[in-house]
């Protein structure tokens, strides 16, 4: 454990340094004059909210995006990697989130192929198998992994595959190891195993940089933390200097005041819940949670990115199947194994990705609006064009969708109006419960206000609403109750009119 006694502030331990890194994408300053230092023998966490610039910084350090301005130094010498392969040759190894290994090749072949990136698989047959296996075993031994290197990679767990990816990334000359969200698909035991490996590499002197959205994991493994916000570096801290409340304040750019933890009792709607979930969860995505939604109630979901917000929405709507727990609608046990089941029970969901899962760009406003209703009715009860027109016009009117007509291609509408059309699509199914995942993302302030007002009016008319947004101020403003998630777990509930700070306080209370 000699490494843990190193004075980690010594600047002579800096291996990789960035000075004044700036990177612009059309219309976005993704990195603005960012300084960054990574030292030998440390695990350094890069933290920041979605869009803060974490991935861009990693890509600038590893030759994916050459910076527009600024310089990179490795061991005090300027470097200019123009590809990940060049960075790797310099000793900077990266494991990206998507592990791109071949499940049909052996463990050794995967490691070997990765260490000679330009040569390709064909050349594997010409090499000395015994030597390849010996080399692979030696690399895995460094990671404390004792597996049959001749076995097919696909036979192993995701965690082992990730170790193999790390082994492949680690050349013999590697000084720096960079991991972008390495734990997102691992369970607790697998995370513990990965962390044991990272600690061992750190204690061998490796400089390790990693990105995670899980606060507890970050505190478990890291020595130092750099926080980014809106493309700027907020600061560099030793872990002990940055308790959770300070970390979150740095990430979101607001102070958490001390008195913000107090509340009055919840004023929740009476009556039996419309939907009650007991212990529903899904391994690797969401720990079992209890949640109840009542008629006329807006339940907000508070949590940072990666807290399990979208996973919860997907489980309730049947897009993913829960592997535990029970569901009741109106006090009756039900199963929701698919969105069709959910729609039949009166649930509706506006997904997070408007462009991807939401609007159908090739269809008209009218066709987009009647889509879910038509799916609910089934194809044998086809809605006539006249009936479609009627429905579409009703929602264009009531939601104030700005379009030259219901036959316009929806692609012609602004983001806010597309979002309203999506809302209309689900309202047309006459749902009893609406799940809204980021209903106001990427739309202008005025459209945002209108959509929020519409949601509140619908709830007052008896709709149950689950409202998910990464804008915490929106969540606390609209919600009758806020369910707070952290690290894929429900950690509490806060009543109506709670402050944004109260939610952050709860999230920050890492035990
Ligand atoms: P993070 O990883 O912290 O979530 P990113 O580095 O991915 O953030 O993104 C920072 C900002 O740069 C965001 O506003 C994002 O939309 C923008 N951005 C990132 N990559 C690109 C790209 N290839 N083209 C355009 N904009 C991009
Ligand atoms: Mg990222």
- Count the Cβ atoms, other than its own, within 10 Å of residue 225: 21
The CA R_g of the chain, rounded to the nearest whole Å, is: 26
Whether residue 195 sits in one domain with residue 120: no
Asked if residue 355 is part of any domain, the answer here is no
Nearest Cα residue to 317 out of 294, 299, 286, 344: 344
Give the H or E element holding residue 210.
Answer: strand 207-211
Residues 85 and 179 in one domain: yes
Tokens 């310089």 appear where? Answer: 71
Q: Which domain holds residue 421?
A: 360-430
Q: Which residue has the tokens 């720096």?
A: 176
Domain for residue 472, yes or no? yes
Instruction: Count the domains in the chain.
Output: 4
Cα–Cα distance measured from residue 41 to residue 206, given in angstroms and rounded to the nearest whole number: 5
Determine if ligand 1 sits within 6 Å of the CB of residue 50. yes
* DSSP designation for 255: -
Residue 342 and residue 264 share a domain: yes
Distances (CA, A) of 180 to 52, 54, 59, 183, 453: 14, 9, 10, 9, 38
CA–CA distances in Å: residue 263 to residues 280, 497, 499, 504? 28, 8, 9, 14
Q: Does any ligand 1 atom lie closer than 6 A to the CB of residue 104?
A: no
Note whether 228 and 149 are same-domain residues. Answer: no
Q: Ligand 1 pocket test: which of 32, 34, 53, 227 has the largest number of ligand atoms within 8 Å of its C-beta?
A: 53
pTM score, whole prediction:
0.62
pLDDT at 185: 67
Strand partners, 106: 152
- Confirm whether 145 is domain-assigned: yes
User: Quick one: pLDDT at residue 114?
Assistant: 57
Q: Which ligand is nearest to the CA of 64?
A: 1
> Is 37 inside any structural domain?
yes
Instruction: Give the pLDDT score at 402.
Output: 86
- The answer on 53 and 130 residing in a single domain is no
Between CA 227 and CA 68 the distance in angstroms is 21
Residues 150 and 136 in one domain: yes
Distances (CA, A) of 417 to 151, 203, 401, 411: 54, 54, 5, 10
467 with 498, same domain?
Answer: yes
Strands (E), 261-368: 275-282, 286-293, 298-302, 324-329, 332-334, 347-350
DSSP letter string, 275-297: EEEEEEEETTTEEEEEEEE-TT-
Whether 51 maps to a domain, the answer reads yes
Claim to verify: residue 281 and residue 342 sit in the same structural domain: yes
Q: Are residues 63 and 206 in the same domain?
A: yes
**Rounded to a whole number, what is the distance in angstroms from the first to the last CA of the chain?**
25
Domain assignment of residue 273, yes or no: yes
* Whole-angstrom distance, CA of residue 36 vs CA of residue 20: 9
**Domain CATH for 338:** 3.40.50.300
State residue 11's pLDDT score. Answer: 62
* Ligand 1 contact, 48 CB (< 6 A): yes
Is residue 25 in contact with ligand 1, taking CB distance under 6 Å? yes
Please say which residue of 255, 270, 303 terminates a domain.
Answer: 255
Ligand 2: distance of its center to the CA of 119 in Å? 29
Asked which of 190, 225, 255 is the last residue of a domain, the reply is 255
Determine, yes or no, domain membership for 61. Answer: yes
pLDDT of residue 510: 59
On whether both 24 and 169 belong to a single domain, the answer is no
List, for the chain, all residue ranges whose pLDDT scores fall below the cut of 50.
1-6, 117-120, 257-269, 511
Q: Are residues 152 and 300 in the same domain?
A: no
Query: Which contacts qualify for 319-322: CB closer than 8 Å, 24 or more apart?
Result: 319/349, 320/282, 320/285, 321/282, 322/280, 322/281, 322/282
- Residue 306 CB–ligand 1 contact under 6 Å: no
Task: Answer yes or no: is 495 within a domain.
Answer: yes
pLDDT of residue 9: 57
Indicate the residue among 210, 228, 255 that finishes a domain: 255
- Is 268 found in the same domain as 242? no
């Amino acid at each position: 454990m000699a490494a843990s006694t190193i004075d980690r502030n010594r600047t002579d331990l800096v291996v990789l340094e960035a000075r004044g890194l700036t990177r612009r994408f059309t219309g976005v300053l993704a990195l603005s004059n960012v300084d960054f230092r990574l030292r030998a023998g440390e695990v350094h966490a890069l933290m920041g909210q979605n869009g803060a610039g974490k991935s861009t910084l990693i890509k600038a350090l590893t030759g994916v995006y050459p910076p527009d301005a600024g310089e990179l130094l490795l061991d005090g010498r300027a470097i200019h990697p123009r590809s990940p392969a060049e960075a790797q040759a310099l000793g900077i190894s990266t494991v990206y989130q998507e592990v791109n290994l071949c499940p049909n090749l052996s463990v050794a072949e995967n490691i070997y192929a990765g260490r000679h990136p330009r040569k390709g698989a064909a050349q594997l047959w010409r090499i000395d198998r015994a030597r390849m296996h010996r080399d692979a075993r030696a690399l895995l031994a460094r990671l404390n992994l004792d597996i049959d290197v001749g076995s097919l990679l696909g036979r192993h767990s995701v965690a082992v595959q990730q170790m193999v990816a790390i082994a492949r990334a680690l050349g013999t000359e590697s000084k720096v190891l960079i991991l972008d969200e390495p734990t997102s698909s691992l369970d607790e035991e697998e995370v513990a195993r990965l962390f044991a490996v990272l600690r061992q590499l750190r204690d061998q002197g490796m400089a390790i940089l990693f990105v995670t959205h899980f606060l507890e994991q970050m505190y478990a493994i890291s020595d130092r933390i750099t926080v980014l916000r809106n493309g700027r570096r907020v600061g560099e801290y030793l872990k002990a200097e940055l308790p959770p409340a300070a970390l979150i304040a740095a990430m979101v750019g607001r102070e958490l005041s001390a008195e913000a933890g107090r509340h009055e009792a919840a004023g929740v709607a009476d009556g039996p819940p419309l939907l009650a979930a007991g212990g529903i969860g899904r391994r690797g995505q969401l720990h079992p949670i209890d949640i109840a939604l009542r008629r006329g109630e807006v339940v907000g979901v508070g949590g940072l990115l990666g807290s399990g917000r979208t996973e919860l929405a997907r489980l309730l709507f049947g897009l993913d199947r829960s592997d535990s727990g029970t569901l009741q609608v109106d006090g009756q046990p039900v199963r929701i194994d698919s969105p069709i089941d959910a729609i039949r029970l009166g649930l509706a969901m506006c997904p997070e990705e408007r462009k991807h899962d939401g609007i159908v760009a090739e269809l008209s406003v009218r066709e987009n609006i009647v889509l879910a209703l038509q799916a609910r009715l089934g194809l044998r009860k086809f809605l006539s064009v006249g009936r479609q027109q009627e429905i579409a016009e009703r929602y264009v009117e009531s939601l104030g969708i700005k379009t030259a007509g219901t036959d316009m291609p929806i692609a012609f509408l602004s983001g806010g109006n597309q979002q309203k059309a999506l809302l209309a699509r689900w309202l047309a199914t006459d749902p009893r419960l609406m799940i809204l995942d980021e209903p106001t993302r990427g739309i202008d302030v005025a459209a945002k206000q209108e959509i929020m007002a519409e949601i509140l009016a619908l709830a007052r008319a008896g709709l149950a609403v689950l409202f998910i947004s990464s804008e915490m101020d929106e969540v606390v403003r609209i919600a009758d109750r806020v369910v707070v998630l952290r690290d894929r777990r429900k950690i509490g509930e806060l009543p109506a009119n709670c402050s944004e700070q109260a939610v952050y306080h709860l999230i920050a209370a890492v035990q």
